[in-house]
Every structure is written in structure tokens, then in C-alpha cells.
């Protein structure tokens, strides 16, 4: 686990239900009644820790998970099925991703972010080029050095 978040919850069972059914993480061994270890993909881990209370409002920070574009719509549907007001509409970003923000039962903001197909003539490509990020040369393979 090179990086993970620890999220306090006053209702461990409800939190596990949302994280597993809505966000589609799976449960790993934890400490019964005290700590639940969840994972999505390798190195995408969450620890849910039993606590006396949770913040009334979501914090200013968020935690992001990478996903693939085809997962965004099903993630939104799954979250709405478990907790209807937990998820915002997906939005496209200037850096060529589609993001969806979810507020969990613990008032934690989770962002799922997926790369969109790269279109070299798109507005997003121009945004990236403006900050020095350009696509590899056409016809150049991965791992080849530039001349």
C-alpha cells in the first residue's frame, strides 16, 4: 500500500455498504468492528475507521481514483442506487479527463477520473500544449528517443 486514505466513520456497516456497492471497492482483512480495509485497483486503498463522529460538511480536500471512461456512467448509477444524492453529474475537464465527484456517507469527497481519447486538434489538446504538454511525434513508437 504505497498510499491510502483513512476515513473516520460513525456507522461502519453503512460506510462499507456504500463503498462496496456504490463505489465498487472490495473488502480485504481488517479489524472487526474497528477498521475495514477496502481496495479498488492495486494501490487504490481506503481504510474505514470506526469513530465517534464525522464532519457535518465535506472537507475542502478530496481523494481521487483513476478509472476508465467506460466505468463513469455505471459508477454514477451504482452510487445513485445506494444513495441518490451522493453523486454529481460527470464533467469534462480542460486537461482531457471526465471526472465524477461522489460524497460518501462520511462526507468525504471522492473523485473518479478517467482519461478521454486524445484528439490532437481539440480544445483540450490546445490547453495542454499551452502549458508545454504535447503528444509524442507521429509515427514514433514508445521508448524511442527523439532526434
Express each pLDDT in 109-144 by its tens digit.
999 999 998 888 888 888 888 888 887 764 444 444
CATH number of 4-130: 3.10.180.10
Instruction: Quickly list H helices, the chain.
Output: 12-17, 72-82, 123-130
Q: Write down the domain spans for the chain.
A: 4-130
The average pLDDT across 87-97 equals: 91
Question: Which of 106, 78, 108, 72 is CA-nearest to residue 91?
Answer: 72
pTM (predicted TM-score): 0.77
Express each pLDDT in 34-87 by its tens digit.
999 999 988 889 999 999 888 778 777 889 999 999 999 999 999 999 999 999
For 17, which DSSP code?
A: H
Average pLDDT score over the chain = 86
Amino acid at each position: 500500500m504505497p498510499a491510502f486514505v483513512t476515513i473516520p466513520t460513525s456507522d461502519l456497516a453503512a460506510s462499507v455498504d456504500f463503498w462496496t456497492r456504490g463505489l465498487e471497492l472490495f473488502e480485504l482483512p481488517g479489524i472487526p468492528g474497528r477498521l475495514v480495509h477496502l481496495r479498488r485497483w492495486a494501490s487504490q486503498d481506503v481504510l474505514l475507521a470506526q469513530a465517534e463522529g464525522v464532519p457535518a460538511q465535506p472537507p475542502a480536500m478530496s481523494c481521487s481514483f483513476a478509472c476508465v471512461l467506460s466505468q463513469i456512467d455505471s459508477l454514477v448509477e451504482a452510487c445513485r442506487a445506494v444513495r441518490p444524492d451522493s453523486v454529481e453529474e460527470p464533467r469534462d475537464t480542460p486537461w482531457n479527463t471526465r471526472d465524477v465527484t461522489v460524497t460518501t456517507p462520511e462526507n468525504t469527497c471522492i473523485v473518479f477520473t478517467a482519461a478521454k481519447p486524445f484528439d490532437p486538434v481539440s480544445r483540450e489538446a490546445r490547453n495542454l500544449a499551452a502549458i508545454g504538454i504535447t503528444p509524442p511525434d507521429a509515427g514514433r513508437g514508445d521508448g524511442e528517443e527523439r532526434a
